C-alpha cells in the first residue's frame, strides 16, 4: 500500500455552515505534506474531522489501508497550543509520558525504561533540562516542543500536526523541522497544517491547498503553483506576493 492517508468526499459543517466540502485527498507514505489555505479555510477542521475529533457530515477516512478506528495506534496528533489549559498541574515529563499510554495501558506500572524513553523524546526536541518544570512556566515555543515530544513518545507512523510553527521563535522552528525531517528519514509520514507560504517549498515535499474545497494536492513542484495559490487565496494574495515565493513554473 502506498498511501498513509486516504480521504474521500469529506464534508464538515458547523450547524448549517459548511467548513469543509467534499474533499478527496491522498498522502503517500513517507512524505511530508503541508495543508495550506487562508484563515477560516477549514484546515484545522479538516484535520480534526479526519481524526474524528469533530463529527463529519460525510466521507471516509482510511489510514494505511485500514479504517481510522483500527489504525489509531499508528497515528500521533499534535494539537494547537491554545487547546489546552497550561495552568494544569502537571510537569513537562508527565505530558510526554501521556504519549506512552498505549504502552502502559490503564493500570501498567511506570518503569524506569518508560521514563528513560520520555527523556529521550525530550532530548530530541531539546527540552530535557525542563523535564521537571510545570508546564505553565514554559514559553510558547517550549510548549510546542513538549507537544512534539509527546507525539514522538507515541512512536507512530503518521504524525498529524496543527500549525506547529505558529507563534514560535526561530530556534524552536528549526528544532521542530529538524525532528520532522528525521521522522521522514525514518520512513514515517508527516502531515501538518501550515500557515507560512514562504517555507512550504523548503520544508515539505507534498502540499494540499484547501479553501472549503480542495483546490489541489500533490508534490510541491506540481501543486504549489501560482495558479493554484491564486485559486486558493482568491483575490487576497497579491501578485507581488506570489512572485516573492519564487514558485516553479506552472
Partner 1 sequence: MGAEFVQLSLVPLLIGTLAAMACALPGNFLILRRQALIGDAISHVVLPGIVVAFLITGAVTTWPMLLGAAGAALVAVALIEAIKRLGKIEAGAAMGVVFTSMFAGGVLLLEQSDTSSVHLDVEHALYGNLESLIWLDASGWSSLFDPSALAYLPAELGRIAIVTLLVAALLLVFWRVLKIATFDEGFAATLGLPVGLISLGVVATAALAAVAAFDAVGSIIVIAMFICPPAAARLMTNRLERQIWISLGFAALSAILGYVLAGYGPLWLGLQDSVSAAGMIATVSGLILMLAALFGPCRARVGAGAGS
Partner 2 sequence: MQPFISALLLQSGYNAALVCVGAALLGAAAGATGTFLFLRKRALVSDAIAHATLPGVTLAYVAMVFLGGDGRNLAGLLGGAGLSALLGLLAVNTLVARTRLAEDAAIGAVLSVFFGFGIVMLTVIQTLNRGQPAGLEGFLLGSTAGMLRADALVIAIGGAFAVGMVIALRRPLGIIAFDSGFASATGVHVARMDLLLMALVMAVVVVGLKVVGLILIVAMLIIPPVSARFWTDRTDRVLLLAGLMGGVAAYIGAALSASAPDLPTGAVIVMVSALGFVISLLLAPGRGSLAVFIGARRFQARVHLRQGLLALGHGERIFDRYTLNVLRRAGFIRRDGVATVDGQTEGVRALRDEARWRLVRRTYHDEAITQRYDGLTPIETVLTADEIALIDAQLGARHGR
Footprint of partner 2 (CB under 8 A): 8-9, 11, 13, 15-18, 21-22, 57-60, 87, 211-213, 227, 230-231, 234-235
Which residue's CB is nearer to partner 2, number 3 or number 13?
13
- Provide, rounded to whole angstroms, the least separation between the CB of residue 16 and partner 2: 5
Work out the burial of residue 14: count CB atoms within 10 Å of its CB; fewer than 13 is exposed, 13-18 middle, 19 or more buried.
exposed
Provide the minimum distance between the beta carbon of 242 and partner 1 in the complex, in angstroms, as a whole number. Answer: 34
Three cell numbers written together for 52: 474524528
Q: Which residue, 2 or 39, is less far from partner 1 as judged by CB?
A: 39
Grid cell 491522498 in the structure block, residue = 26
Q: What is the DSSP string of 192-243?
A: EE---GGGHHHH-SEEEEEESEEEEEEEHHHHS-HHHHHHHHGGGS-HHHHH
135 binds, among partner 2, partner 1, none (CB under 5 to 8 A by kind): partner 1
Neighbouring C-alpha atoms within 13 Å toward the C-beta of 203 = 26
Residue 159 or residue 233: which is nearer to partner 1 going by CB?
159
Nearest Cα neighbor of 166 from 96, 81, 235, 109 is: 81
Of the candidates 199, 177, 181, 191, the residue with the CA atom closest to the CA atom of residue 246: 199
Work out how close the CB of 74 gets to partner 2 at its nearest, in angstroms, rounded to a whole number. Answer: 24
Choosing from 1, 9, 40, 52, the residue that interacts with partner 1 (CB under 8 A) is: 52
Site for partner 1 in 65-94 (CB under 8 A): 69, 72-73, 75-77, 79, 82-91, 94
Told to check if 109 binds partner 1 by CB under 8 A, we report no
Report in angstroms how near the CB of residue 231 gets to partner 2 at its nearest. 4
Task: Extract the C-alpha cell encoding 39.
Answer: 484563515
Amino acid at each position: 500500500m502506498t498511501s498513509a492517508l486516504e480521504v474521500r468526499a469529506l464534508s464538515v459543517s458547523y450547524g448549517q455552515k459548511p467548513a469543509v466540502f467534499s474533499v478527496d485527498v491522498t498522502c503517500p507514505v513517507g512524505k511530508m505534506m503541508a495543508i495550506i489555505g487562508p484563515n477560516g479555510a477549514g484546515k484545522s477542521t479538516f484535520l480534526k474531522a479526519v481524526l474524528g475529533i469533530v463529527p463529519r457530515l460525510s466521507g471516509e477516512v482510511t489510514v494505511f489501508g485500514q479504517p481510522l478506528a483500527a489504525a489509531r495506534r499508528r497515528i500521533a496528533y499534535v494539537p494547537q497550543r491554545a487547546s489546552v489549559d497550561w495552568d494544569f498541574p502537571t510537569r513537562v515529563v508527565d505530558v510526554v509520558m501521556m504519549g506512552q499510554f498505549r504502552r502502559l495501558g490503564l493500570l501498567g506500572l511506570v518503569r524506569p525504561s518508560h521514563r528513560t524513553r520520555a527523556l529521550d523524546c525530550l532530548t530530541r526536541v531539546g527540552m530535557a533540562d525542563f523535564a521537571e518544570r510545570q508546564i505553565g512556566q514554559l514559553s510558547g515555543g517550549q510548549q510546542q516542543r513538549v507537544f512534539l515530544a509527546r507525539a514522538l513518545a507515541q512512536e507512530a507512523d503518521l504524525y498529524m500536526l496543527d500549525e506547529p510553527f505558529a507563534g514560535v521563535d526561530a530556534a524552536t522552528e528549526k528544532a521542530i523541522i529538524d525532528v520532522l525531517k528525521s521522522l521522514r528519514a525514518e520512513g514515517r509520514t508527516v502531515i501538518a497544517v501550515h500557515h507560512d507560504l514562504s517555507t512550504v517549498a523548503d520544508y515539505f515535499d507534498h502540499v494540499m491547498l484547501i479553501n472549503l474545497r480542495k483546490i489541489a494536492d500533490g508534490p510541491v513542484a506540481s501543486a504549489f503553483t501560482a495558479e493554484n495559490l491564486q485559486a486558493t487565496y482568491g483575490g487576497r494574495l497579491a501578485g507581488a506576493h506570489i512572485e516573492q515565493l519564487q514558485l516553479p513554473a506552472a
